[in-house]
Amino acid sequence: MLARSIPLTFPQATLQLTELPLTVRRDGGGPLHLQLAEQLREGVRDGRLRAGHRLPSTRELARQLEVSRSVTQAAYDQLHAEGWIAGKTGSGTYVADVVPLEPAQAVPRRPKPVEERPLLSLRPGIPYVERSVDAGWRRAWREVSAQPPTRGYEHAAGLPALRTALAEYVARTRGIACGPDNILVTNGTIHGLRLLLSVTRRPGDPIAIEDPGYLSAVRAANSHGLPIIDIPVDADGLRVDLLGPEPSAVYVTPSHQYPLGGRLPVARRNALIEWARRTGATVIEDDYDSEFRYDVAPLPALAQLDLDRVVHLGTLSKMLSPSLRLGWLVAAPEVVEALTEHRENSGDWPSWPVHAATLAMLRDGYLDRVVRRGRRRYAERCAQVIEALSPYGEIVGRDAGLHVTLLLPDSLDDRVVAQAAEASGVGVAPLSGYRRSTPGPPGLVIGYATPTSPELHKALTLLTQVLTTF
């Protein structure tokens, strides 16, 4: 026999029990006690069994269903533990005082518009990520897998050995003299920025941000309730001379202004530090892609000038991949301590395996190799983009990073041009999308890192065809 079904009716002195047919299937309906328990739960949910209804004894129910008593006992034990039934051996088993919940009202949801992804993306932001696994990557993760995990709930500032290795790295590559106490390992730039803002700023504290500038920084300031003061940029980057006394902090991309590409010259850097010392403001230096320069060596980081006034944010997102979620924040030890405490209190613990793998990649020189490989690749691509797009406007930010900006004639609407490019299968970002209150020429921000070489070639051919039509 595959199934046994009985109507469950038990006369009670005070209660009329509704009829509840119970069935157990032996042909794949799952463990018998779970089948039974679920049918009894369902009986309570739909009101056929109500508070106080008496259930048969486990022995009686087992007899009727022709199952072993351990099955009915296990079902009752489960329901008892969950609070559906009450009662003790000997005094009978009753349905507990459970008021069935009204079923949730189905809220009509608007279907999400399906984002039509163009075939080829020249949007900025994502580096070239190798399609295959190389030996250095494999070695780092093999090393991680050979270690037991740390005990957990420790090292909110990052794995100690990684903090030491990163201090050496930023000293070597960015000229910042610092030690492990100056380093907080983050889940990337935006994580570091949000942590910093939430711990060191109060809602209402004004923050200056480059205009045009990085939208995620704008969003971070907005979500912490910080009024934003838009500071224009020019070919050299932030117009430091336009900073007034109000901002309590300024967010800046001095090695490669995002998205226009300017490199803040020494005189402006010194003026920025002097301004911060005078006003007591914090300078937040986003150093997102300084590893990639194709003309001269990058200037040392701003933080090198004064770690008491500057908080420096670095990331693996451009060097390796944003998916690792690994970055670092370099600051005065008091700032690192305050952020670490906040992470501990908010349960924002870092992921040990990612830290251990990053440490291995730094120590083995893997990261340096990946950066050197990337620099060669991107320098070639940058030249390719400049050659293809120069006839259509001025190209700025051409000596560094993973993107350039093509400035278009004033008569054009860059959103219309971007839409036309998208229609032809190429995604590009209109420059006006990065502007807030400072007017400027239209343009296209063109990332050249993400695609494969043949994809880049194809995307540039399509884009130039589109640009020719304007």
Ligand X SMILES: Cc1ncc(COP(=O)(O)O)c(C=O)c1O
User: Which range of residues in 16-24, 98-106, 184-192, 414-422 is near ligand X by CB under 6 A?
Assistant: 184-192
Of 269 and 318, CB closest to ligand X: 318
User: Is residue 285 classed as helix, strand or coil in its secondary structure?
Assistant: strand
Q: Per CB under 6 A, does 125 bind ligand X?
A: yes
Of 195 and 466, CB closest to ligand X: 195
The C-alpha angle 334, 336, 340, rounded to 5 degrees, equals 115
- Total residues interacting with ligand X, rule: CB under 6 A: 13
Of 48 and 377, CB closest to ligand X: 377
Of 125 and 261, CB closest to ligand X: 125
The answer to whether the beta carbons of residues 25 and 3 sit under 8 Å apart is yes
Of 180 and 188, CB closest to ligand X: 188
Name the H helices within 390-450.
Answer: 414-423
Q: Quote the CA–CA distance of 132 and 317 in Å, as a whole number.
A: 18
Q: Per CB under 6 A, does 188 bind ligand X?
A: yes
The C-alpha angle 358, 363, 364, rounded to 5 degrees, equals 100
Q: Quote the CA–CA distance of 180 and 116 in Å, as a whole number.
A: 45
Q: Which of residues 325-384 bind ligand X (CB under 6 A)?
A: 327
The answer to whether the beta carbons of residues 173 and 316 sit under 8 Å apart is no
Q: Per CB under 6 A, does 322 bind ligand X?
A: yes
Which tokens hold the place of 335?
């700032």
Which one of residues 210, 211, 285, 286 is an interface residue with ligand X (CB under 6 A)?
A: 286
Question: What are the φ and ψ backbone dihedral angles of 311, each rounded to 5 degrees?
Answer: -110, 125
CB of 61 to ligand X, least distance (A): 59
CB of 165 to ligand X, least distance (A): 18
- Measured CA distances, 374 to 189, 291, 315, 380, 400 (Å): 20, 9, 15, 10, 12
Which one of residues 93, 315, 405, 450 is an interface residue with ligand X (CB under 6 A)?
A: 315
User: Which range of residues in 151-159, 188-196, 225-233, 451-459 is near ligand X by CB under 6 A?
Assistant: 188-196
Q: Per CB under 6 A, does 166 bind ligand X?
A: no
Which residue's CB comes closest to ligand X? Answer: 188
Q: Quote the CA–CA distance of 360 and 123 in Å, as a whole number.
A: 31
Of 125 and 427, CB closest to ligand X: 125
The C-alpha angle 29, 35, 36, rounded to 5 degrees, equals 150
Q: Per CB under 6 A, does 214 bind ligand X?
A: yes
Contact set with ligand X (CB under 6 A): 125, 188-190, 214, 253, 258, 286, 288, 315, 317, 322, 327
